[in-house]
Structure 1
Amino acid sequence: MSFVEYSEFIQEGDVVIIFLGHDSMMPINVKSGAQTQTRYGAIRHSSDLIGRRFGSKVTCSKGGWVYVLHPTPELWTMNLPHRTQILYTTDIANITLMLDLKPGSIVCESGTGSGSLSHAILRTIAPSGHLYTVEFHAQRAEKAAQEFKDHKVDHLVTVRNQDVCKEGFGVLGVADAVFLDIPSPWEAITHAKKAFKQKGGRLCSFSPCIEQVQRTCEALMEQGFEEICTLEVLQRVHDVRSVNLPLPDFGPEDGGAESAKMTTEPPLEEVPPSANSGYTSVTCRTATPPREMAGHTGYLTFASKPRG
Structure 2
Amino acid sequence: MLPIDPTKKLSFNRRIADGDLVIVYERYDTMKPIKVSEKGVLQNRFAPTPELWTLVLSHRTQILYIADISFVVMYLELVPGCVVLESGTGSGSLTTSLARAVAPTGHVHTFDFHEQRAASAREDFERTGLSSLVTVGVRDIQGEGFPDQLLGQADSVFLDLPQPWLAIPSAAKMLQQDGVLCSFSPCIEQVQKSCEALKLYFTDIRTFEVLLQTYEVREGNFGSWQDSDGASSFLKGCKKRQRNNLEASGTQTVIARRNGETRGHTGYLTFARLNCSM
Query: How does the TM-score come out when normalised to structure 2?
Result: 0.74
**1:48–1:247 distance in 2 versus 1, CA, 3 Å:** same
The alpha-carbon deviation at position 296 of structure 1 amounts to: 4.2
Distance 1:54 1:201 in 2: 43
Give the Cα separation in 2 of the matches to 1:237 and 1:123.
25
Match of 1:22 in 2: 27
> Given the alignment of the two structures, is residue 207 of structure 1 paired with residue 212 of structure 2, yes or no?
no
Q: Distance in 2 between matches of 1:54 and 1:301?
A: 43
Rounded Cα–Cα distance in structure 2 between residues aligned with 1:248 and 1:87: 41
Is 1:112 the counterpart of 2:89? The answer is yes
Question: 1:164 corresponds to which residue?
Answer: 141
Equivalent position to 2:160, from 181, 206, 219: 181
1:71 aligns with 48
Q: Partner amino acid for 1:218? A: E
8 Å Cα contact 2:186/2:268 also seen in 1: yes
Task: Find the residue that maps to 1:122 and give its secondary structure.
Answer: helix
Aligned 8 A contact 2:79 2:102 in 1: yes
Q: For the residues of structure 2 that align with 1:304 and 1:172, how far apart are their CA atoms?
A: 17
Distance (whole Å) between structure 2 residues aligned to residue 179 and residue 240 of structure 1: 36
Partner of 1:215, secondary structure, is helix
Structure 2 Cα separation of the partners of residues 142 and 98 of structure 1: 29
Q: Deviations over 1:125-154 (max 9, x none)?
A: 111111110101110001111222232221
Q: Which runs of 5+ in 2 are unaligned?
A: 1-22, 224-234, 236-240
Q: Which runs of 5+ in 1 are unaligned?
A: 1-17, 26-38, 57-66, 250-268, 274-279
The count of aligned residue pairs is 235
The 1-side partners of 2:191 and 2:254 are apart by 42
After superposition, the Cα gap between the structure-2 partners of 1:147 and 1:186, relative to the gap in structure 1 and judged at 3 Å, is same
RMSD of aligned alpha carbons: 3.2
Q: Report what 1:277 is aligned to.
A: none
1:8 counterpart residue number: none
- Give the equivalent residue in structure 2 for 1:297: 266
The Cα shift of 1:21 comes to 4.8
> Residue 3 of structure 1 aligns with which residue?
none
8 Å contact from structure 1 (residues 270, 283) kept in 2: no
Query: Do the aligned partners of 1:109 and 1:178 also contact (CA within 8 Å) in 2?
Result: yes
Choose the corresponding residue for 2:255, options 254, 266, 286.
Answer: 286
Cα deviation code 1:229-269 (max 9, x no counterpart): 111112212233642574599xxxxxxxxxxxxxxxxxxx9
The answer on 1:219 being equivalent to 2:197 is yes
User: What is the distance in 2 between the residues matched to 1:174 and 1:248?
Assistant: 62
